[in-house]
Amino acid sequence: MLHLLWHLIGASALTALIGGAALGFGALALRPLRLPGVTRAERLLFALGAGAATLSLLMLLIGALGLISPPVIITLLLSGLAFAINPREGRWALLPAWLRGRGPTAGHADNAQPEAPAAEVDLVERGVWVGLLAVIALPLGYGLFAHALLPPTDYDVVAYHFAIPRLYAEAGRIVYLPYVLHSNWPLGTEMLFLIGLRLGSESAAQMVTLGFALILCAALALFGERWLPRGSGWLAVAIFCAMPMALRLAGTGLVEMPLACYTFLALYALWHWRQSHARGWLLLSAGMAGAAAATKLNGAATALIFATLAAVLVAREGRPWRAAGLFAGYGLISFLVVLPWYLKAWVHTGNPIWPFLYPLLGGRNWDELGSVYLIGYLRTTNMDPTVANWLTGLWQVTRANGRFGSFLLGPYALALLPLGLFPLVWRPTLRPLLALLGLSLLAFYSFWFLLTHQTRFLLPAMPFAILFGAAGVAWVCGNVRRPLRVAMLGGLLVWLLAGAWIFDGHQRETARRALPYLLGQVDRETYLTSVYDDYPAYAYLNHHLAPEARVLLAPMDVRGYYLDPAYLWANAIGQRYLRLEQLDDADALYAELQRHGISHVLMNTRFVIQDIPYQEHINTLLNGLVERYGRLLYERGASRVYALDRPDTARLR
């Protein structure tokens, strides 16, 4: 237990420092906006969101200047923290004066605003509150103890979400990585990961996404309690936390949670603008949409959707020219936030949205065949693009078990969604907000349907669906007698609490494996070997290769985070730095690898090239390389490590 406590304290302290710095920078960013109708809790919420985006951009600047080092990073964090500390009134307080100062408590506006709906659900009853807090706390605790405090193992995390910032940290600056496709896309959250990784804490890096989950939960609670029937906000938090997908994402190095957080904050600010018509709220919404775009390439949909919705709201008032100007202005603010990442991609590749639109914009280390590979891969999980599939897509994703990726949606959002129709029909005062939530859900779902049908990419749309359904639950419970209301809420909470573990056995297995490591009964390498079949091959490379060695990862394994030697992807889909299908034979491949300084090959047959053009030729090429030039050094399971010998040595062998 002391081992666990020490680990938790260290990671939490660094995460708190990152959060404090974000709060300070966010306070500076929001001060000129003069947000009317904001509560003190909302000020804190938006300061954290805006501050995280600001801190991310500052880390990008530090990396561009080649200043990634512990002293510089610590100075940056302490500078942000200084802005969040106010020494007035004879004491230090971790809140700027404008956050602590005069103003209403949460749930009451600074100035006159439309009244929140009357109380409809009495959640103060002790049993309901205990169940509600359990549903919320247990999944968040799971994210901490089963994810954040453990070494990362999610495929995408160790392939690029953590691997890229580790390479930046080792280089001390932002470097061009021609063999890592994702390194030239927006990496806003990865810059926050970089802080923890450079300061020696994987857990602090993973706790960043847990922090975003907490911000999102707070936003759901504040939004729902203020603008929807009483109890809607807390019910929405419980429903969100119980989603199997949310449990698996919080506390990991995957970026869907920050993306969902920024997206919902953008809608939150947009609704405030709709109520007050204050320009500051619109600017804040656009900024949060830009932060979403800086988190993930498909996050650009956030700005496009909300700019369109805002323009439509204005156009309905009979002001089409102002609507057009608003759309352009919203898009411009969002674009300025994400612009540094597009500039980075343009400098490195010659294409700001590399490798997309390659025939039009071109791009370094790419070609049209690469686009065929990439688009084909992104659509491997897709349903056929038919109207019937669009209409039933959410149902198919909800009932499918693994077809759309290993992240399960769970039944809650879809099952409770129809209940939102009751207040939509019978509560006219709620109709504009519920319509906005419904349209946002429809727009984000449609955008998802047009791209790639991976379940976790739906997470940014889930807060809209959940709030819509939670408002319906609160309305229904508010119109029935107390015994039935308590029974309904109790049944819902039991379903939420049990369902996350019933619907996704991965959660139970992860928790079972985590316990020995958390208690210090096994060391890091033993734990990774027990959960990560291919880790021993990486450990062998780390322990036996010379410092100047360079490894080719083949044929599809790209998980370089745990590799100390330099490496190069052979993945035909994720890079066009090596164009394997253009090489005639193993001799040509060997010569090409020598040109790139490759001395060893890690062949992992667990991941093979399939269903792409030239797959047989590429597989033959790689197999021929290790047969002719490879000297087997290590073999375990699906992993084999080869040293590449010179032609004369290979012939003697």
Bridging pattern class, strands 600-604 and 550-554: parallel
Share of the chain above pLDDT 70, in %: 91
CB of 107 closer than 8 Å to CB of 227: no
Three-state secondary structure string covering 67-117: CCCHHHHHHHHHHHHHHCCECHHHCCECCCHHHHCCCCCCCCCCCCCCCCC
**Closest C-alpha to 549, from 616, 602, 618, 473:** 602
Q: What is the pLDDT of residue 7?
A: 84
Whole-number Å distance between alpha carbons of 48 and 27? 8
Q: What is the pLDDT of residue 41?
A: 93
- Across the beta sheet with 639-644, the strand order is 566-569, 550-554, 600-604, 639-644, 630-636
Q: Which residue range is the domain that position 139 belongs to?
A: 124-503
Co-location of 457 and 561 in the same domain: no
Co-location of 155 and 300 in the same domain: yes
Whole-number Å distance between alpha carbons of 251 and 203? 8
| Tokens (6 digits) for 264 | 């919902």
Co-location of 494 and 566 in the same domain: no
* Longest distance between any two alpha carbons in the chain, whole Å: 88
Co-location of 204 and 349 in the same domain: yes
Q: What are the angstrom distances between the C-alpha of 384 and each of 121, 377, 387, 638?
A: 42, 15, 9, 33
DSSP state of 119: P
Co-location of 498 and 538 in the same domain: no
pTM: 0.93
CB of 349 closer than 8 Å to CB of 585: no
Whole-number Å distance between alpha carbons of 137 and 225? 19
Q: Please report whether residue 612 resides in a domain.
A: yes
Q: What is the pLDDT of residue 259?
A: 98
Q: Please report whether residue 48 resides in a domain.
A: no
| Tokens (6 digits) for 644 | 């590449």
Q: Which of 503, 522, 548 is the last residue of a domain?
A: 503
Spans of the chain, pLDDT less than 50: 89-93, 102-121, 124
Q: Please report whether residue 91 resides in a domain.
A: no
Whole-number Å distance between alpha carbons of 521 and 513? 11
CB of 297 closer than 8 Å to CB of 353: yes
CB of 106 closer than 8 Å to CB of 39: yes
Co-location of 559 and 497 in the same domain: no
| Tokens (6 digits) for 250 | 């919080």
Co-location of 474 and 553 in the same domain: no
pLDDT tens-digit profile of 110-156? 333 444 444 444 554 666 777 788 888 888 888 999 899 999 999 99
CATH number at residue 547: 3.40.50
Q: Please report whether residue 423 resides in a domain.
A: yes
Co-location of 480 and 544 in the same domain: no
Co-location of 157 and 237 in the same domain: yes
Q: Please report whether residue 14 resides in a domain.
A: no
Q: How many domains does the chain divide into?
A: 2
**Closest C-alpha to 229, from 485, 497, 490:** 485
∠ CA 323-327-333, rounded to 5°: 140
Give residue 332's identity as a one-letter amino acid code. L
Whole-number Å distance between alpha carbons of 588 and 14? 49
Co-location of 389 and 307 in the same domain: yes
pLDDT tens-digit profile of 422-480? 999 999 999 999 999 999 999 999 999 999 999 999 999 999 999 999 999 999 988 88
Q: Please report whether residue 172 resides in a domain.
A: yes
Co-location of 479 and 569 in the same domain: no
Q: Please report whether residue 79 resides in a domain.
A: no
Co-location of 278 and 378 in the same domain: yes
Q: What is the pLDDT of residue 92?
A: 44
Q: Please report whether residue 106 resides in a domain.
A: no
